[in-house]
Amino acid sequence: MKLPIRRSRGRGYTLIELTMAISVGIMISAIIMSLVNQQLAFLKIFRAQSFLVTEAPMLNNYIVKIIGNADSYRLYASVDDLVAGRAQVMTNAPVIMLRFKEPNGTFRSSVLSFENPGTGTGLYYRMVNTSGVLGSPSWVLSKKPSNVRFAIENGILRVVVSGSNGEEVTYSGAMQL
C-alpha cells in the first residue's frame, strides 16, 4: 500500500497572522505613547506647582518666625534708601527693616530684602551691627521667588511672594507698631 504524498505547507506566516501581529504591536505602541504623554503632563503640572508645594511653606515658616518676633518694622523702596536714611514707604516695598527688643532693653535690627547683592536675586536676611551699619547678607531665605513685596494695608503687614509660574502667596501679619 502506497501512502499518498503530502505536500507540506511552506514554513512562514500567513498574511492574516502578520496583520494580527502588526495590529497588536501598534496597539501596544499607542498605549505606551499615551502613558508617556500622561507622565509628561503630570511632570509639567508638578513643576508648575513645586513653588507652592515646597518653597511657599518653607518661606512661611521663616517669615512668620522673623517678622512675628519683631517689635516694629519699616518698609523701604530699596536697600540704598534704607542706608541713605530716606523716608519709608507703605506699599510695594522690597525691603523691610525689623527691630527686636533685647532682654537688656536695647534694640537690634535686621533687614529682609528682595534683591540681587551679586549672588543672584532672592530674599536675603541682613543684620545691622551695633553701630547701625547694615551688613552684607547673612543668609538667603530663598532664591526661588520671582518677586517679594511688603506693604502695609489698614495697619496690617502684607507680604506677597510670587513664584516663577505667576503663582502668588500672600502672608498677613502683625500690626505696625
> What is the pLDDT at residue 10?
64
pTM of the entire structure?
0.72
- Is pLDDT of 43 > 60? yes
- Is pLDDT of 31 > 90? yes
> What is the pLDDT at residue 87?
92
CA atoms within 13 A on the CB side of 113: 25
- Is pLDDT of 8 > 70? no
Number of other CB atoms surrounding residue 169 within 10 Å = 18
Query: Residue ranges per domain, the chain?
Result: 52-175
Q: In which region does residue 118 sit, left (phi positive, over 0), alpha (psi from -120 to 50) or beta (all else)?
A: left
> What is the pLDDT at residue 35?
94
With bands split at pLDDT 50, 70 and 90, how would you rate the model's confidence at 7? low
> What is the pLDDT at residue 114?
95
